């Protein structure tokens, strides 16, 4: 009897100590604020394995993502802030956000659709980046929490907002499954022909946010080709092979292995900041786009999508100026992003997969981040 009681005590002690480790530092109260006349809040999704994700309806930001390492120790693996004010005052504007209407750049902030020319804000000279001055990642969305593991965010973007035509009704669904998948599903409808390219801009560090750089992370990209860019990070229009270049991640390689090689494309991106053209499995809507492994913690993340591309970005613009969660600075190359998407500047490249959405059509984009250890 005594042995059983002792054993039970040990189990409880272990469980409660584990819980302490797994508890996120983020407090929902720190996100209660009226922004643009709308209530901002923080929502937490959990699964049966203890994974925990906090999302705010300000910009649809993934604020924290608690994931175990190979010994079960939880760590928050996305960059971000502990308070809504952190996000409102940040220099780096996109941590964890739902990006729209157009993920990545549109050259010179201009495009034509059905012979009408549209002009967008130039917020990343000389181009328009991530939806303009106040894109979807800076909007307060309506939120519907669906049980423990699902959140739906809704936004109506008025006709000509940020220069884009059509009233757009957008829905982003965040679901944390018991197989440790975070599934992001985007749906949208428009009242007029428009262009659309939605994505999530989470910055991952599998050591934990703020715990050093990601140069030792081993990346696989399921892409034989990529879209090289000019010096302003606009695709030249060519689709080139990665074979024989530092862009070949068809066999896993560490981020750091070739990032500092002398290469014009790496110089333009200050490292990796490029769109990869994903290899697709015939007949499969959602397929593997990328994976990343941290040999230290054993954390492994796979990325699946129905999109034709993924923007692989390595935090080359971070310089330690951002002081994030737990007062940790976010240094140069201390995170990586896998932004599943259509190609940058597609509205100006007729031969890229189309980003045009017309009335009556339903936009459907899926991105799955799946977590495990090895
Ligand atoms: C994307 C872009 C980068 C950079 C980041 C945000 O990944 O491709 O050039 O703008 O967003 O800083």
* Per annotation, catalytic residue among 130, 201, 217, 274: 201
- 269 CA closest ligand 1 atom index: 9
- Measured in Å, residue 332 CA sits from the centre of ligand 1 at 13
Whose alpha carbon is nearest atom 7 of ligand 1? 313
- Measured in Å, residue 146 CA sits from the centre of ligand 1 at 32
Contact in structure between 235 and 345 (CB atoms under 8 Å): yes
pLDDT on residue 1:
47
CA distance 196 to 176: 25
311 lines ligand 1 (CB under 6 A): yes
- Measured in Å, residue 335 CA sits from the centre of ligand 1 at 12
Q: Give the three-state DSSP class for 307.
A: coil
- 273 CA closest ligand 1 atom index: 8
Contact in structure between 266 and 257 (CB atoms under 8 Å): no
Determine the residue of 273, 274, 332, 341 to mutate for testing ligand 1's pocket, defined as the one with the most ligand atoms within 8 A of the Cβ atom: 273
Task: Compute CA distances 349 → 82, 259, 264, 273, whole Å.
Answer: 40, 28, 22, 19
pLDDT on residue 23:
64
- Measured in Å, residue 339 CA sits from the centre of ligand 1 at 10
- Measured in Å, residue 25 CA sits from the centre of ligand 1 at 27
pTM over 0.85: yes
Q: Please spell the DSSP secondary structure of 88-100, one letter per residue.
A: HT-SS--TTEEE-
pLDDT on residue 19:
41
pLDDT on residue 14:
43
CA distance 337 to 340: 9
- Measured in Å, residue 273 CA sits from the centre of ligand 1 at 7
317 lines ligand 1 (CB under 6 A): yes
Give the containing element (helix H, strand E) for 3: helix 2-22
CA distance 345 to 237: 9
CA distance 363 to 189: 6
Whether 29 is catalytic is no
Whose alpha carbon is nearest atom 11 of ligand 1? 104
Whether 201 is catalytic is yes
From 36, 24, 37, 79, select the one nearest 208 (Cα to Cα): 79
- 233 CA closest ligand 1 atom index: 9
**Hey, CA dihedral for 328, 329, 333, 337, is it positive or negative?**
positive
Antiparallel, parallel or unpaired: β 52-56 and 61-68? antiparallel
234 lines ligand 1 (CB under 6 A): no
CA distance 64 to 76: 6
- 344 CA closest ligand 1 atom index: 8
The tens place of each residue's pLDDT in the chain, 374 residues long, gives 454 444 444 444 444 444 434 467 799 999 999 999 999 999 999 999 999 999 999 999 999 999 999 999 999 999 999 999 999 999 999 999 999 999 999 999 999 999 999 999 999 999 999 999 999 999 999 999 999 999 999 999 999 999 999 999 999 999 999 999 999 999 999 999 999 999 999 999 999 999 999 999 999 999 999 999 999 999 999 999 999 999 999 999 999 999 999 999 999 999 999 999 999 988 789 999 999 999 999 999 999 999 999 999 999 999 999 999 999 999 999 999 999 999 999 999 999 999 999 999 999 999 999 999 99
Determine the residue of 91, 98, 104 to mutate for testing ligand 1's pocket, defined as the one with the most ligand atoms within 8 A of the Cβ atom: 104
């Amino acid at each position: 009897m005594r042995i059983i009681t002792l054993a039970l005590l040990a189990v409880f002690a272990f469980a409660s100590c584990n819980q302490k480790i797994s508890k996120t530092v983020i407090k929902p109260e720190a996100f209660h604020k009226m922004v643009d006349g709308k209530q901002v809040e923080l929502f937490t999704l959990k699964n049966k394995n203890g994974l925990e994700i906090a999302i705010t309806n300000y910009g649809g930001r993934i604020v924290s993502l608690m994931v175990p390492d190979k010994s079960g120790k939880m760590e928050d693996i996305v960059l971000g802030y502990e308070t809504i004010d952190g996000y409102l005052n940040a220099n780096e504007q996109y941590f964890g956000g739902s990006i729209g209407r157009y993920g990545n750049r549109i050259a010179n902030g201009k495009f034509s659709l059905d012979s009408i020319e549209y002009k967008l804000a130039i917020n990343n000279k000389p181009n328009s980046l991530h939806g303009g001055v106040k894109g979807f990642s800076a909007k307060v969305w309506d939120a519907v929490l669906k049980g423990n593991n699902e959140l739906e965010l809704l936004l109506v973007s008025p006709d000509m907002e940020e220069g884009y035509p059509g009233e757009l009704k957008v829905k982003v669904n965040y679901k944390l499954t018991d197989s440790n998948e975070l599934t992001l599903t985007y749906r949208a409808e428009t009242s007029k022909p428009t262009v659309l390219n939605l994505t999530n801009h989470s910055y991952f560090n599998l050591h934990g946010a703020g715990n050093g750089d990601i140069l030792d992370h081993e990346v696989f990209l399921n892409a034989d080709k990529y879209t090289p860019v000019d010096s302003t990070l606009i695709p030249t229009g060519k689709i080139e092979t990665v074979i024989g270049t530092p862009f070949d991640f068809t066999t896993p390689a560490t981020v750091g292995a070739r990032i500092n090689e002398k290469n014009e494309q790496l110089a333009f991106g200050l490292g990796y900041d490029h769109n990869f053209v994903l290899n697709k499995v015939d007949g499969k809507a959602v397929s593997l786009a990328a994976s990343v492994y941290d040999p230290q913690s054993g954390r492994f993340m796979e990325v699946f999508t129905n999109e034709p591309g993924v923007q692989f970005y390595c935090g080359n613009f971070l310089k330690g100026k951002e002081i994030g969660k737990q007062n940790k600075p976010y240094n140069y190359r201390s995170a990586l992003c896998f932004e599943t998407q259509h190609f940058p500047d597609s509205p100006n490249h007729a031969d890229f997969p189309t980003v045009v959405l017309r009335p009556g059509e339903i936009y459907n984009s899926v991105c799955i981040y799946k977590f495990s250890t090895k």
